[in-house]
């Protein structure tokens, strides 16, 4: 009996399907009508209105920018990750390049990106719009690319062998093995990336470059303008809209995606808690999704046949020496040229200015350290408490996730209102912003670490009467230390990035700033002083790298080696 | 007529620490049409590497693989493979997993589905077509692995220990189904090549068994199993085969193997002291003086793959003697089994010092140092001249375990140093 267990395709259109169709129509109309605006209004000195009636439109525009930036990031990261994991000659270069790019703060990309695009698209808003999208992209893409690379280069050996024995074409292998294997990591990193996009939304929609003042209509510029004018009501309402959008996206996009991604899990055991999503279940039952899915599958299959069957040669293959030499040569040339140009720009900076940059670096370092230390101080006890109470963590984790997804930059102006009149108020506010932006990484990781303490260890410490400090020293700290360090690495990087938006602020018609490396970067970008911008960016990259390599990584190895469970 | 032929196959892996490990050395064999061949060997004999070289997944360092007389470059198109872990793609349903190989061949969707459903029915997966692998038991998963390999109708079916991760009953059930498909010609497969470490499995299934030796992997002997199917494990002829192969695998008689005079060339079997002690005690309870290795494995309800390193370790220390397939407990072994904890340590120490040169060397180095301490890295580097990096670490771990038990030296995990304890130094 053939076909007997294959379900007959349902062609019944239900209310859900109707909803999906309407949603798609609305979305397409939205994009088309928005694109019209790009050609009309100029990209700078645009009037942003603080009237509430504009908010939905602004929110839509910001959302669209995030969406396009994300699509760009997704494609880029898959292509980059694929090439890096498949080309042994390019791999080391591509990965170290990624490592460097990842630690370049978003704002340092700004002048190059914006000026370049304005030259390419001199009319209308297109150039600036594209620039803004690319800026958001530079904040999203690197960790996604890392994730794809990491997944694709760690595909279980037998999966690769099965694909090769069955002689899958390279495209089939990508479609049926490599991409599915990368999906879970990609979804989680996408979530993080988009959250990062919201964090820098304000900086990406409204900025000055030399004498030119760029403003794009959007939620980010709305919030920033509200801050500059000191309009508290507008700030709060804008923030509210942002939080609502983030929660809605979380429910409509990320939860369903995570639930869907479970099917790509490789561990074959059935799990204790499976992420679920109402929306996902609804979509799964809809006819449209099945139809679209089927059509896509046929389409991909036709494409995949076009690719030649790759006769696989050796699992221990190395890039041939000629391509390797050419690659190294080309890459070397680019680096040499870049360094040469950079050194010209930087060599114009007077020594006194260098001293200032290094002092700023030290001051920012103090702020970052304070912020991370304070974060650890409060997240460690709370995270351990939540993590060791399973019932509590089930309730708290989604809550913490929502808190974490509110971009601290949007709350920042409100904090600033309270602190601006105090002596050293901006410095305190700056530390607070770093704290707000980065404490969540720590909290998440500590909760996860505490949850992973085996029940037997907890029981044993109970039996031996381990209490108070002893319990912390002997059980808790060793158990959560690796996770704590992982969180702290991300938090430190995030705090440095936050220094850029927190040490130099346009607020109530004036520009506030404290001495710091972040302020150095922001102000030099503002003024179009590329030499200082490049120099302070390099100093920041070096500082972050040194702290990671010589402090956090060491601590991590130490904790892994001695206390891994 | 030979379907697959390997000629002087040698595979050498370059390790990251610049050592080269010879995994396979000079392997020549043929796989004839209509033959079911098992390749049998202890772990580390390069069985899987041999299979992968045959499939064209690994390019041999020297020698060649021929498929129907033609040199195999790249993937061998005449073969299909069943993996140890089934290696099913968890994101594809049973049907999609089975269809994958056909997709690669560019077969139309309709024909693809027909073929897939057919093989799924044949292999007993009827009703599970739309299930995902995680919904299936281990046995069912491996059935999908078989279906996926068979649906492309390969001339040769390669199997990489396909039953070793299944429980006893499931494995036996699947073995019988495979034999049924094979001897009744229900599948167009012309030859089967099976990798296994289980002697019984090889004798039960194969027409011919190729026994590999380890370090490096070489063909030790070939044996034709001329028993008719279905074979009976309790049959005397069957047991004789199993016994004989045990003897060959355990025996040190490989004439061509050069005797190397260097120190510490004998690797430590990966066995902790506790396992050796437990084994000797059990053994002395089980038997008087002389016993069949096969019987010991059976009585202890252990697989030969698990028990073999323990036997090797016990033999290295001369607790037992296994010349010619039988285990004889030595005098020391008997005393050891009866001794109390402290006496045991004494005996172990004595044997360790007289039979394991590497331990002697460690002591010598420590005694020559004024503070009697030495970083463990030093010894690992010594071992790395003979073993791969990870193997060297494993070897060191075992050496430390044995040395600690014998109270010959101590090890400080924090400073990563091996040292002599005060009392030892004084005495």
Question: Do the Cβ atoms of A409 and A238 come closer than 8 Å?
Answer: no
**Integer Cα distance of A496 and A494 in angstroms:** 5
> Which of B217, B250, B283 is where one domain is finished?
B250
Residue A300 sits at the chain B interface (C-beta within 8 Å): no
Question: Do the Cβ atoms of A152 and A82 come closer than 8 Å?
Answer: yes
Same-domain pairing of B224 and B368: no
Domain-embedded: residue B136: yes
Q: Which of B104, B105, B138, B152 to mutate to test the interface with A (most CBs of A within 10 A)?
A: B104
Same-domain pairing of B98 and B237: yes
Q: List C-alpha distances in Å: A556 to A171, A489, A548, B38, B255.
A: 39, 10, 10, 47, 51
Domain-embedded: residue B374: yes
Domain-embedded: residue B320: no
Instruction: Indicate the residue of A158, A269, A315 with minimum beta-carbon distance to B58.
Output: A315
Quickly state the pLDDT bin for A7 (edges 50, 70, 90): very low
Please tell me the least confidently modeled range out of A30-39, B299-308, B331-340.
A30-39
Please tell me the least confidently modeled range out of A260-269, A476-485, B153-162, B176-185.
A260-269
Instruction: Indicate the residue of B74, B100, B101 with minimum beta-carbon distance to A312.
Output: B74
- At A10 the pLDDT is 47
Residue B152 sits at the chain A interface (C-beta within 8 Å): yes
Q: What's the first-to-final CA gap in chain A, in angstroms?
A: 52
Q: Which residue has the higher pLDDT, B178 or A556?
A: B178
Average pLDDT estimate for B369-377: 85
Q: Which of A43-52, B283-292, B346-355 has the highest mean pLDDT?
A: B346-355
**A161–B57 CB contact, under 8 Å:** yes
Q: Chains A, B: CB contacts under 8 A, how many?
A: 100
Please tell me the least confidently modeled range out of A185-199, A346-360, A364-378, B258-272.
B258-272
- The CATH number covering residue B80 comes to 3.40.50.300
Instruction: Tell me the residue length of chain B.
Output: 427
Give me the residue label for tokens 């520009």.
A511
Residue B141 sits at the chain A interface (C-beta within 8 Å): yes
- At B290 the pLDDT is 66
Candidates B403, B417, B390, B398; CA nearest to B361 is: B403
- At B346 the pLDDT is 87
CATH entry, A349-565, from 1.10.8.350, 1.10.3720.10, 1.10.1530.10, 3.30.450.20: 1.10.3720.10
Judged on CB neighbours under 10 Å (0-12, 13-18, 19+), A551 is: middle
Same-domain pairing of B244 and B359: no
Phi/psi for A305 (5° steps) reads: -70, -25
- At B203 the pLDDT is 93
**A314–B59 CB contact, under 8 Å:** yes
**Integer Cα distance of B316 and B310 in angstroms:** 10
Instruction: Indicate the residue of B59, B89, B117 with minimum beta-carbon distance to A176.
Output: B89
The domain limits of chain A are 349-565
Count the Cβ atoms, other than its own, within 10 Å of residue A281: 11
CA-based nearest residue in chain B for residue A298: B109
Please check the confidence at residue B143 and state whether its pLDDT lies above 90. yes
Q: What is the per-residue pLDDT across A501-529, written as a single tens digit (0 to 9) for each? A: 888 888 877 888 889 998 998 888 888 78
Q: What is the pTM of this model?
A: 0.74
**A305–B133 CB contact, under 8 Å:** no
- At B29 the pLDDT is 92
Please check the confidence at residue B276 and state whether its pLDDT lies above 90. no
DSSP per-residue codes, A143-208: HHHHHHHHHHTT--HHHHHHHHHTT--HHHHIIIIIHHHHHHHHHHHHHHHHHHHHHTHHHHHEEE
Q: What is the per-residue pLDDT across A432-465, written as a single tens digit (0 to 9) for each? A: 888 888 888 888 888 888 887 777 777 788 788 7
Domain-embedded: residue B290: no
Question: Do the Cβ atoms of B77 and A167 come closer than 8 Å?
Answer: yes
Q: How many domains, in total, are found in chain B? A: 2
For a pLDDT cut of 90, what percent of chain B falls above it? Answer: 32
Average pLDDT estimate for B380-393: 82
> Which of B205, B231, B250 is where one domain is finished?
B250
CA-based nearest residue in chain A for residue B132: A263
> Which of B250, B282, B313 is where one domain is finished?
B250
Residue B400 is part of which domain span? 355-426
Domain-embedded: residue B277: no
Task: State the smallest CA–CA distance between residue A273 and chain B in angstroms.
Answer: 15
Domain-embedded: residue B235: yes
Domain-embedded: residue B284: no
What does pLDDT average to over chain B? 85
Same-domain pairing of B125 and B241: yes
- At A272 the pLDDT is 47
Domain-embedded: residue B392: yes
């Amino acid at each position: 009996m053939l076909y007997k267990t294959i379900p007959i395709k349902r062609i019944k259109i239900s209310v859900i399907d109707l909803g999906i169709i309407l949603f798609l129509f609305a979305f397409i109309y939205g994009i088309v009508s928005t694109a019209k605006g790009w050609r009309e209004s100029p990209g700078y000195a645009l009037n942003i209105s603080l009237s509430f009636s504009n908010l939905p439109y602004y929110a839509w525009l910001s959302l669209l920018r995030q969406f396009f930036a994300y699509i760009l990031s997704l494609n880029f990261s898959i292509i980059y990750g694929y090439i890096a994991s498949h080309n042994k000659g390019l791999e080391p270069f591509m990965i170290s390049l990624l490592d460097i790019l990842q630690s370049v703060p978003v704002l340092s990309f700004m002048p190059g990106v914006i000026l370049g695009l304005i030259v390419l698209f001199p009319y209308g808003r297109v150039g600036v719009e594209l620039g803004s999208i690319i800026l958001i992209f530079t904040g999203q893409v690197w960790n996604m690319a890392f994730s794809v690379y990491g997944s694709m280069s760690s595909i279980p050996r037998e999966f690769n062998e099965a694909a090769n024995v069955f002689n899958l074409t390279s495209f089939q292998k990508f479609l049926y093995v490599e991409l599915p294997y990368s999906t879970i990591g990609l979804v989680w990193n996408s979530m993080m990336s988009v959250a990062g996009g919201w964090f820098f939304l304000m900086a990406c929609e409204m900025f000055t470059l030399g004498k030119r003042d760029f403003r794009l209509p959007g939620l980010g510029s709305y919030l920033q303008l509200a801050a500059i004018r000191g309009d508290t009501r507008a700030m709060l309402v804008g923030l509210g809209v942002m939080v609502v959008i983030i929660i809605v996206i979380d429910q409509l996009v990320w939860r369903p995606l995570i639930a869907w991604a479970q099917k790509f899990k490789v561990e074959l055991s059935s799990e204790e808690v499976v992420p679920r999503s109402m929306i996902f279940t609804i979509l799964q039952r809809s006819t449209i999704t099945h139809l679209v899915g089927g059509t896509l599958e046929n389409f991909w299959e036709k494409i995949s046949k076009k690719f030649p069957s790759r006769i696989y040669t050796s699992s221990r293959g190395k890039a041939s020496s000629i391509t390797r030499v050419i690659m190294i040569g080309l890459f070397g040339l680019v680096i040499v040229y870049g360094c040469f140009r950079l050194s010209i720009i930087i060599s114009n900076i007077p020594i006194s200015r260098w001293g200032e940059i290094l002092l700023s670096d030290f001051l920012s370092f103090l702020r970052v350290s304070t912020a991370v230390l304070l974060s650890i101080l409060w997240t460690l006890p709370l995270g351990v408490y939540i993590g060791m109470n399973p019932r509590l963590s089930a309730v708290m984790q989604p809550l913490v996730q929502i808190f974490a997804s509110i971009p601290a930059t949007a709350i920042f102006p409100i904090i600033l209102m309270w602190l601006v009149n105090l002596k050293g108020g901006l410095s305190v506010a700056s530390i607070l912003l770093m704290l707000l932006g980065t404490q969540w990484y720590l909290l998440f990781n500590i909760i996860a670490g505490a949850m992973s303490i085996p029940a037997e260890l907890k029981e044993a410490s109970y039996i031996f009467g381990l209490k108070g400090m002893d319990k912390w020293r002997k059980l808790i700290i060793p158990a959560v230390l690796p996770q704590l360090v992982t969180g702290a690495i991300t938090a430190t990087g995030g705090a440095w990035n936050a220094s850029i938006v927190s040490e130099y602020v346009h607020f109530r018609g004036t520009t506030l700033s404290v001495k710091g490396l972040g302020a150095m970067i922001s102000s030099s970008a503002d003024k179009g002083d590329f030499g200082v911008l490049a120099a302070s960016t390099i100093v920041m990259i070096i500082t972050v790298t040194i702290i990671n390599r010589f402090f956090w990584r060491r601590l991590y190895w130490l904790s892994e080696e001695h206390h891994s469970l | 007529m030979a379907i697959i032929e390997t000629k002087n196959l040698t595979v050498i892996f370059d390790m990251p620490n610049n050592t080269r490990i010879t995994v396979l050395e000079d392997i020549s064999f043929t796989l004839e049409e209509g033959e079911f061949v098992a390749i049998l060997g202890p772990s580390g004999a390069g069985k899987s590497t041999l299979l992968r070289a045959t499939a064209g997944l690994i390019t041999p360092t020297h020698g060649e693989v021929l498929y129907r007389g033609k040199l195999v470059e790249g993937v061998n198109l005449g073969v299909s493979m069943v993996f140890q872990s089934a290696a099913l793609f968890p994101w594809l349903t049973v049907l999609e997993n089975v269809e994958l190989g056909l997709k690669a061949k560019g077969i139309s969707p309709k024909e693809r589905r027909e073929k897939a459903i057919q093989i799924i029915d044949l292999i007993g997966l009827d009703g599970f077509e739309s299930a995902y692998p995680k919904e299936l038991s281990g046995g069912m998963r491996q059935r999908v692995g078989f279906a996926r390999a068979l649906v492309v109708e390969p001339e040769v079916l390669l199997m990489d220990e396909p039953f070793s991760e299944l429980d006893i009953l499931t494995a036996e059930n699947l073995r019988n189904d495979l034999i049924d498909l094979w001897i009744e010609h229900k599948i167009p497969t012309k030859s089967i090549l099976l990798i296994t470490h289980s002697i019984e499995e090889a004798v039960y299934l194969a027409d011919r068994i190729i026994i590999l030796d380890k370090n490096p992997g070489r063909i030790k002997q070939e044996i034709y199993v001329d028993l008719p199917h279905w074979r009976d494990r309790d049959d005397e002829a069957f047991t004789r085969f199993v016994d004989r192969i045990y003897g060959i695998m355990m025996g040190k008689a490989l004439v061509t193997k050069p005797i190397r005079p260097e120190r510490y060339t004998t690797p430590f079997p990966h066995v902790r002291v506790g396992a050796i002690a437990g084994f000797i005690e059990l053994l002395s309870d089980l038997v008087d003086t002389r016993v069949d290795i096969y019987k010991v494995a059976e009585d202890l309800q252990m697989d030969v793959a698990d028990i073999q390193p323990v036997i090797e370790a016990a033999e290295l220390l001369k607790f037992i003697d296994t010349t010619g397939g039988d285990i004889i407990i030595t005098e020391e072994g008997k005393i050891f089994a009866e001794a109390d904890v402290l006496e045991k340590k004494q005996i172990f120490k004595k044997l360790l010092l007289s039979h394991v040169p590497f331990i002697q060397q460690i002591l010598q180095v420590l005694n020559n140092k004024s503070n009697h301490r030495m970083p463990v890295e030093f010894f690992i580097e010594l071992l790395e001249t003979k073993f791969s990096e990870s193997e060297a670490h494993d070897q060191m771990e075992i050496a430390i375990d044995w040395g600690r038990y014998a109270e010959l030296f101590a090890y400080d995990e924090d400073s990563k140093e091996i040292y002599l304890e005060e009392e030892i130094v004084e005495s």
